[in-house]
Amino acid sequence: MVAAASVVAAVGTATGLVSALADPPGAVEAGPETVRAPRVAQARPEPSSPSPTPSPTASPAVPSPEPTVRASPSPSPTPSGRRPAPSRLYRHPDSQVLDWVRAHPDDPRTAVITSRIADRPAAVWFADFTPATIASRVRAVTSGAAAQGQVPVLVPYAIPDRDCGGASEGGASDLAAYDDWIDAFAAGLGSGEVVVVLEPDSVAQADCLSRSARAERFASLERAGRVLKAADPKARVYYDAGHSGWNAPDRQAALLRQAGAGSADSSDGVFSNVSNFHTTAAEIAYDRRVLAELGGPAGLGAVIDTSRNGNGAPGDDAWCDPAGRGIGRAPTLGTGQARIDAYLWVKLPGESDGCKGTPGTFSPSYAYDLASS
């Protein structure tokens, strides 16, 4: 595996919400999760062949390290003229880090982990293919957020041939089943603001598919965006742009265009750096180039996963719980950057890629290292 790319390793463990909804373990939680056995939706194993080198101007050659955690800027309209940013992102009340904090009030690491990780909003992943309950599970999250006047971040992660048969393999049996699952997912969105990070790696990693299978996947993703936005006109749907160390911007934009990311009917833009470590500066430069190459409405923007990029990517391109990383910018919907709609914590810091613990499980030592770097 090469570290230039990033493939979600996701698998989930049960949380309070899972128990409350009587779903199988791993059904939903705040932070990357996955499916069947060891959990793998987080720091992501890389594709089996080297990724193309981005063009030299895709991002700064040596981006400055990010400070560990900054206060979020006050929400304000973005320079691109998109609608005003809502005031707050939703922190889901059930997650592995919160479970650990509640169970270890006297641990000397608890205060740091609580203030810098557990108290911050993170995405909720839906990686188990459970068609009968997906609508109610999504509704439980969106209604909880709406009750607090906050905006949840949801990650549908059930595309067939997920992770090209790698550590996060799983998902729906075929695209027809996936389309039905998306219909049910959309039924749970409600009518409030929601951010949807649609299928990490589904576009950037599509080279493992045949040309016809890739075209079919992209058609299904374009349909998914349309269905989600039709179900909830306030939903913002973002498509997979990989990250600044993976595909060159023009190539990534060409793939995204085929998947419907350039159409206002299905897309609000792109996301990058999910479960990876590239600096915010590198991702901003890269995402702007991808959006320029993509075309489409001027209002399309990008969201960036800043959960572990405070110190940038490791020099050796390690992807599995690499040492010396740090949490990045705090999650916010008000970045103050043109065409950058949000900084999000899509992967919950402290959940292991498989080297600091079983993949997908919370490691307090790893969390503490990230929070104190």
- Catalytic positions are 163, 201, 353
CB 221 within 8 A of CB 267: no
CA gap 196, 224 in Å, rounded: 11
CA gap 304, 252 in Å, rounded: 16
CA gap 334, 77 in Å, rounded: 7
The residue behind tokens 């069947």 is: 36
Count CA within 13 A, CB hemisphere, residue 179: 11
Question: Buried b / exposed e across 181-208, counting CB within 10 Å, b at 16+?
Answer: bbbbbbbbbbebbbbbbbbbbbbbbbee
The residue behind tokens 């589904």 is: 202
Count CA within 13 A, CB hemisphere, residue 365: 6
Structure tokens at 150: 């906050």
* Orientation angle between helical segments 280-294 and 249-258, nearest 10 degrees: 50
CA gap 329, 167 in Å, rounded: 28
The residue behind tokens 């009968």 is: 132
CA dihedral 199, 62, 313, 240 (to 10 degrees): 0
Q: Which residues have C-beta within 8 Å of that of residue 257, sequence separation ≥ 6? A: 294, 295, 296
DSSP β-ladder status, 29-30 and 124-126: antiparallel
Listed residue (159, 182, 181, 156) closest to 170, CA to CA: 159
